[in-house]
Amino acid sequence: MKSSHLVIVLLAYLALLSGCIVYVDEDDGAQDVVYNYSPEILVDPTWWACDYDWTVDDHFFEFQAGVEDLDGSDDVALVSVSLYEAGTDYLVDSFGLYPEGDGIWGGLVWESESYAICGEALDVLVEAMDHHEAWDALWLLY
């Protein structure tokens, strides 16, 4: 009797099979669509200033940039400022800024460590780039 039970189970199992084999080809040749939003430098929280520190006895340049990216603030890879002689294309100096949180990037540079001179007429170019190399730029003109 056991062999007849085995035959019945085997026949039932074969009845469940559809008789065809389905292969799934995961590589259809199409590339995944990647959506990337460019960073945007916000005008209101972006500024620069030059001041004097009596304790250190040196002038300093302070920079702040507000950068928004719809992919999230972690998508912004770098923010930099470039100082140009006002009204010209002569590059005086450039600096990278550091993330301070909530889309704000900032930095401070001492005049003694820079080619720029406090009080000199400068145009400042603020640039932001994300991890997909999308970018934005904002000029702060003298």
Q: Is 121 part of a structural domain of the chain?
A: yes
* 57 in a structural domain: yes
Query: Within a domain: residue 136?
Result: yes
Closest CA to 40 of 82, 73, 83: 73
Lowest mean pLDDT among 14-18, 45-49, 101-105: 14-18
Residue 89 sits at φ, ψ, to 5 deg, of: -105, 20
Rounded CA gap, 56 and 26, in Å? 64
For the entire predicted model, the pTM comes to 0.75
Number of domains into which the chain is organized? 1
Cα gap 123→133, rounded to integer Å = 24
Cβ pair 109, 80 in contact under 8 A: no
Any domain includes 10: no
Does the residue 108 lie in any domain? Answer: yes
> Count of residues for the chain?
142
Report whether 97 contacts 61 (CB < 8 A).
no
CATH classification at residue 49: 2.60.40.10
65 lies in some domain? yes
**Across-strand partners of 79?**
128
Residue 9 has pLDDT above 90, yes or no: no
Range of the domain at 73: 40-140
**88 found inside a domain:** yes
pLDDT in tens, 66-116: 999 988 888 999 999 999 999 999 999 999 999 999 999 999 999 999 999
- In order, the DSSP letters of 32-54 are PP---PPPEEEEEEEEEEEEEET
